[in-house]
């Protein structure tokens, strides 16, 4: 292992990449930091809308952020106030986020797919002073935000009442061509910039407090490979939701800060529309969740109809990707580097990522790459709580300037997540190899404990979707009196498939140890997931418990 990857004395792993320099000015907002580095590309496209073709140059982006910042101050928003952003992806979403944090206010984002009860919990917890949304979601949010001012991103009419302002009107009223953003020198890098609610795939979500420093450090570290590999201006598609840390920070903020173009993609994912956007905007980087790669493999003939020569990287994230799945993608897109990374909301979206320049186009490691600069890690033995050397499985711990400040209004959960030495306890199971590559196995809470053995649902899910007649799958534990827990699967078959439950069980049994064999298979039309592709296992567990209780 490279000397700068693992320190035997401290049992700590670090990045093999060149060190980065982070800004030392304590009074620096992430908005000011972004525009410090984009003056040389002021007249190039910063944001574009894949569907409408509307766009903003970096100069226009700064003018719009400036105008909205002034309007927010006129609406009474001050440093430390929370503003709720509830909207689908658009080029206006980043404008709002950058304007909010520029004046020292705090942005909290929410999924347009949230139910009333989920929205109610977040609003009650974060107590926003203002809501920014779209007309389609107005009725959903109206009853929960009585008395709060609202801004509509998409409707300039006055039909929604006096407390509702139009985004277009606010930009027009405060517009000035000097792009003078009202810099608040009281804003500190240590101030909270965003409260992003963790996915809550197994339990109730918590508000993750990310500071200006967290986003600045992530932006610098997240673009380091492009810089050190000598790449010019790149183009990224963002159909990952901007309300999620991967869309907001990993793609949008990080790439804008580097001077790259971000193509906003709203609505549900569509393979044809995505490739059309790649062709139209000469996209170089495509970040996807595992279900997208599965769909690409199952519908590989779609690629033929599009000019995709601009595409250089297909990047997987949000959940572990199997080596075989990635290898199939390299066959479909032989000119593209297929890589993956690992991140979490609590680490500001990015922990490790593969550097394509260190491998070949056809070499797939199955790892999530090496740590980004400034982040260090330990692998902890679950029984002894002692740090482990390479190639030994344990819990992933992290430390560095990208790690969250804590959970909002939840000091108890914060204390459990971050120890006295500043190590964040991730709850993820993994290991480093001798090259410093991180392999993430699964969430510890989601491991199935069968006859004393640990079964990773992700391993079985990857095996299931490799079957030519299976489009998607989810695996959960089911209680068993004899062995503790057994793995059971929920499977989505391809249209016109005749595969049976018994066929699936035999397919898996031939390739795994006896304790990993599926004890039960249930067919579903769709696996419940977040927009990022993470499986909502708690929904599958609830469904399984309800159905087994009837047997």
CA distances from 363 to 113, 252, 287 (A): 38, 28, 19
CB 516 within 8 A of CB 460: yes
Q: What does the buried/exposed string (b/e) look like for 208-217 if buried means 16 or more CB atoms within 10 Å of the residue's CB?
A: bbbbbbbbbb
Give me the pLDDT at residue 201, please: 46
pLDDT digits (tens, 9 = 90+) for 465-506: 889 999 999 999 888 877 888 999 999 999 989 999 999 999
Question: What is the pLDDT at residue 360?
Answer: 52
Which residues in 407-425 are b (16+ Cβ under 10 Å) and which e? bbeeeeebeebbeeeebbb
Q: What is residue 163's predicted lDDT score, i.e. its pLDDT?
A: 82
Helix, strand and coil in the chain, % to nearest 5: 35, 25, 45
Task: Give the model's pLDDT for residue 362.
Answer: 53
Label each residue of 208-229 as H, E or C: EEEEHHHHHHHHHHHCHHHHHC
Residue 235's pLDDT is: 97
- Structure tokens belonging to residue 125: 């917890």
How far out from the chain centre does Cα 350 lie?
Answer: 8
Q: Give me the count of residues in the chain.
A: 551
Q: Which residues contact 263 (CB under 8 A, 6 or more apart)?
A: 47, 48, 49, 50, 235, 236, 237, 238, 277, 281, 283
**pLDDT tens per residue, range 229-251:** 888 999 999 988 899 999 999 99
The pLDDT value recorded for residue 216 is: 97
- What is the SS3 string spanning 367-432? CCCEECCCCEEEEECCCCCCECCCCCCEEEEEECCCCCCEECCCHHHHHHHECCCCCEEEEEEEEE
pLDDT in tens, the chain (551 residues): 444 699 999 999 999 998 999 999 999 999 999 999 898 999 999 999 998 889 999 999 999 999 999 999 999 999 999 999 999 999 999 999 999 999 999 999 998 888 888 889 899 999 999 999 999 998 888 888 878 999 999 977 767 777 889 999 999 888 775 567 766 678 999 999 999 997 554 456 789 999 999 999 999 999 999 998 888 999 999 988 899 999 999 999 999 999 999 999 887 778 898 899 999 999 999 988 777 888 888 888 988 889 999 999 999 876 666 677 788 888 999 999 999 899 999 999 999 999 877 755 555 677 899 999 999 999 999 999 999 999 999 999 999 999 999 999 999 989 999 999 999 999 899 999 999 999 988 778 888 888 777 788 888 998 998 899 999 999 998 888 778 889 999 999 999 899 999 999 999 999 888 889 999 999 999 999 876 677 888 889 888 887 765 55
DSSP string for residues in 484-528: EEEEEEEEEEPTT----HHHHHHHHHTTS-GGGS-SEEEE-S---
- Domains of the chain in sequence order: 447-548 (3.30.300.30)
């Amino acid at each position: 292992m490279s000397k700068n990857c693992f320190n035997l004395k401290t049992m700590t792993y670090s990045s093999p990449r060149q060190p980065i320099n982070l800004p030392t000015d304590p009074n620096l907002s992430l908005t000011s930091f972004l525009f410090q580095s984009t003056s040389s590309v002021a007249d190039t496209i910063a944001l574009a809308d894949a569907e409408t073709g509307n766009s903003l140059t970096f100069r226009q982006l700064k003018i719009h952020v400036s105008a909205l910042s002034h309007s927010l101050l006129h609406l009474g928003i001050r440093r430390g106030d929370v503003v709720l952003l509830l909207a689908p992806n658009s080029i206006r979403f980043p404008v709002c986020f950058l304007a909010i944090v520029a004046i020292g206010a705090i942005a909290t984002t929410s999924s347009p797919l949230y139910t009333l009860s989920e929205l109610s919990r977040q609003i009650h917890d974060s107590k926003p002073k203002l809501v920014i949304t779209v007309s389609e979601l107005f009725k959903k949010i109206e009853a929960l935000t009585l008395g709060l001012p609202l801004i509509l991103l998409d409707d300039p009419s006055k039909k929604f009442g006096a407390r509702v302002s139009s985004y277009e009107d606010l930009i027009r009223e405060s517009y000035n061509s000097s792009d003078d953003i009202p810099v608040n020198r009281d804003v500190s890098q240590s101030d909270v910039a965003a409260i992003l609610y963790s996915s809550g795939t197994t339990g109730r979500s918590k508000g993750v407090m990310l500071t200006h420093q967290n986003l600045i450090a992530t932006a610098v570290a997240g673009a380091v490979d492009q810089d050190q590999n000598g790449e010019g201006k790149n183009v990224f598609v963002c159909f990952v939701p901007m309300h999620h840390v991967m869309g907001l920070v990993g793609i949008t903020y990080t790439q804008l800060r580097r001077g790259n173009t971000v193509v906003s993609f709203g609505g549900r994912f569509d393979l044809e529309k995505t490739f059309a956007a790649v062709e139209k905007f000469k996209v170089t980087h495509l970040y996807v969740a595992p279900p997208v790669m599965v769909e690409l493999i199952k519908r590989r003939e779609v690629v033929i109809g599009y000019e995709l020569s601009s595409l250089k990287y297909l990047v997987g994230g949000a959940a572990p990707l199997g080596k075989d799945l990635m290898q199939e993608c390299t066959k479909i897109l032989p000119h593209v580097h297929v890589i993956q990374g690992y991140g979490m909301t609590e680490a500001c979206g990015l922990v490790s990522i593969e550097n394509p320049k260190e491998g070949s186009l056809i070499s797939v490691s199955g790892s999530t790459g090496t740590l980004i600069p400034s982040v260090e890690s330990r692998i902890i033995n679950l029984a002894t709580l002692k740090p482990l050397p390479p190639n030994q499985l344990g819990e992933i711990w992290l430390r560095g300037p990208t790690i969250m400040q804590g959970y909002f209004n939840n000091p108890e959960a914060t204390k459990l997540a971050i120890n006295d030495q500043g190590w964040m306890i991730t709850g993820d199971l993994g290991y480093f190899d001798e090259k410093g590559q991180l392999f993430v196995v699964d969430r510890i809470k989601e491991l199935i404990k069968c006859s004393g053995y640990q079964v990773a649902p992700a391993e079985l899910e990857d095996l299931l979707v490799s079957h030519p007649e299976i489009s998607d799958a989810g695996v959960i534990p089911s209680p068993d009196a004899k062995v503790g827990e057994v793995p059971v699967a929920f499977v989505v078959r391809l249209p016109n498939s005749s595969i049976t439950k018994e066929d699936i069980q035999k397919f898996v049994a031939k390739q795994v140890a006896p304790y990993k064999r599926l004890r039960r298979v249930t067919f579903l039309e769709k696996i419940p997931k977040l927009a990022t592709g993470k499986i909502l296992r708690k929904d599958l567990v609830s469904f399984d418990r309800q159905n087994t209780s009837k047997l």
